[in-house]
Structure 1
Amino acid sequence: MAGVITITVKLFAAYQEAYGVSELHLDLPEGSTVAMVCDRIIGERPELAPWLDLTRFGVNLQFVEPDTTLQSGDEVVLIPPVSGG
């Protein structure tokens, strides 16, 4: 049986507005990827789906691709486009 990892997801802009918090703590199966985190977030907050294709992803302060595999303790950042002004 696969183990479980615990990660922190930092939320900004639309993601933070949808959840009403600045970060989430998620338990995921070992081998989970950034894309799987996004699928879970969109599953819980479908109104965020339009943002997904525009979002950049970071793990531990490095920009990554959605297929990046996560480790327990990782900090995932979802960075939607932000309008300046």
Structure 2
Amino acid sequence: MSNQITVTVKLFAAYQEAYGVEEIQQQFPPQTPVKAVLDQIISEHPQLEQWREITRFGVNLSFVPPETTLKDGDEVVLIPPVSGG
């Protein structure tokens, strides 16, 4: 079955700089874990690899573990470390 779920990904800091926008929409198969969103983004922008291990995940305004399963319509936030300025 080819059903896909669509999630909105909010981008901050280095991720937003890489894409040049504040949010993107991505499609995934059902039962995809939230960490797959980061995998997809890093595959499109390999320079973001340096943030992989230290990025936290939020789904619908709550911090979640990387294994959390996405549902259609979820809002995903990738939270890289923010440098002071």
Q: Same fold (TM over 0.5)?
A: yes
Question: Which letter does structure 2 place at the counterpart of 1:20?
Answer: G
After the TM superposition, which segments of 4 or more aligned residues of structure 1 sit over 3 Å from their partners?
none
Amino acid of the structure 1 residue aligned with 2:45:
R
- Root-mean-square deviation (CA, aligned residues, Å) is 0.9
Give the AA of the match of 1:21: V
Return the offset for 1:2: 4.7
Q: Distance in 1 between matches of 2:38 and 2:78?
A: 9
Residues 35-73 of structure 1, C-alpha deviation per residue, up to 9 Å, x if partnerless? 111111010000000001111110000000111000000
Matched with 2:23 is 23
Equivalent-residue separation in structure 1 for 2:82 and 2:36 (angstroms) = 23
Give, in whole Å, the separation in 2 of the partners of 1:37 and 1:84. 26
TM-score between the two structures when normalised by the length of structure 1: 0.95
Q: Name the SS of the counterpart of 1:78 in structure 2.
A: strand
Mind listing any 5+ residue stretches in structure 2 that lack a counterpart? none
Of all paired residues, the percent bearing the same amino acid is 64
Equivalences, count: 85
Q: Which residue of 2 aligns with 1:35?
A: 35
- Give me the whole-angstrom Cα distance separating, in 2, the residues matched to 1:79 and 1:12: 7
Structure 1: gaps (5+ residues): none
State the secondary structure of the residue aligned to 1:32: coil
Give TM-score, length-normalised by structure 2: 0.95
